[in-house]
Amino acid sequence: MAALFRFIFTFGFLSLALSQSEPVNGPPPPPPPPAPARELPWLVAFGRPTDYEAYWSFNTSTIADGPLQPTKWEKDDIIVNVFTGPVNGNDNQNMVHIHVESTSSRREVLWQVYGDGGIVTRYTSLEHEPETSELRSTTVGTFAMIPHRPDKKITLFWRIIRRRS
């Protein structure tokens, strides 16, 4: 019986001593650093991407519902039409439809959609050969759709590029 008490006392003391010591591999690792803030994939000067001539911001709660009378905005060589509507007749998935094009056939528009603190997508209105790495992820098109959420601020940035002959 004394041997049993000695075993329990020794085992309990050993367990207590081990629980107070550092783990075999050293102290626990430090917590991971916080995720970096989402940065724009382009340089920003005065709140907009560099080399972008203009921008237009709108709130999704203020744009037209349906394509028959879209919210239309024109400036210099660009026309923007924006409206909300479903995708392929699916009333459960309301989207913001954005159509951007140049008023001149001799020019194209390099444009990007920015919302919720990050880039949503990039487009060029016509196919061309990218001249810089900035255009790597550009999609060809004049039309974009993003999920509609009420009271969301969307900003379009663009620049006009003269088409090569």
Q: Residue 110: which pLDDT band, with cuts at 50, 70 and 90?
A: confident
Q: How far is the CA of 32 from the CAs of 22, 27, 140, in angstroms?
A: 20, 15, 39
Neighbours of 15 (CB within 10 A): 10
> Which pLDDT value is given to residue 19?
54
Q: Residue 67: which pLDDT band, with cuts at 50, 70 and 90?
A: confident
- C-alpha R_g of the chain: 29
Helix (H) or strand (E) holding 9: helix 2-20
Phi first, then psi: give them for residue 116, nearest 5 degrees. 55, 35
**pLDDT tens, 29-38?**
777 665 544 4
pTM: predicted TM-score of the whole model, two decimal places: 0.58
* 7-11, 108-112, 143-147: least confident range: 7-11
Give all domains of the chain, ordered by start, each with its CATH number. 50-162 (2.60.40)
Does pLDDT of 63 surpass 60? yes
CA dist., res. 100 & res. 29, Å (int)? 51
Does pLDDT of 165 surpass 70? no
Q: How far is the CA of 116 from the CAs of 38, 89, 120, in angstroms?
A: 11, 26, 9
Percent of the chain scoring above 90 in pLDDT: 0
Span 58-62, mean pLDDT? Answer: 86
